[in-house]
Structure 1
Amino acid sequence: LRSRVGRLIADRMPTGVLVSPAQQHGGPFPASTQPGFTAVGLPAAILRFTALQAYDNVPDALLPPELRDRNPGGLPRWIDQHCTTADIGATP
């Protein structure tokens, strides 16, 4: 699924927003892609949504190895506003 979706949700319902060809995002017709007024206009949309995938309440066992609580490879990660190579939940 990672190659086809931008968000995986586990044990929860999605927002219910339907994405369709007729959907518009910038106020009344005609739709606007002006970056200051829409979440889909460029470049503002890229600045708002830079993650390629989001994992929402996904169990640790189903996450990619780089995102799991354990960090056996010692990858530097940004956790709670600190760069660390420790496991999540480990005491420093």
Structure 2
Amino acid sequence: AVDPGPFTYYLVKNSSQDTGVKTKQKMLFTIGSVSTIAIAQIARFRAELAPYVVKIQAEDLLYDGPDQAEIDRVKNKVLQHLDDNQMFLVATMM
């Protein structure tokens, strides 16, 4: 889902009901907004659903420099925790 937040929130909430059965289904969320609404949505998401969080160092992606190193760092963090988590949040701010 790509939207300002409400649809995705309810999609995730309904998809992640605790049934006592561990699923192999994974969810990856990426958020690049710095608005106060997005910050509040991130806080609620983290509090209610406890995703594994990786903060992107956006400056490393915007300017000439170690962009591939930042991409690899984020990718490796997610992959290292793939078996232990169902939801992953990759965001520019927390």
TM-score category (smaller protein): under 0.3
Higher relative contact order (CA 8 A, sep 6+): 2
TM-score (norm 2): 0.22
TM-score (norm 1): 0.23
More helix by share: 2
Report the structure number with the largest CA radius of gyration: 1
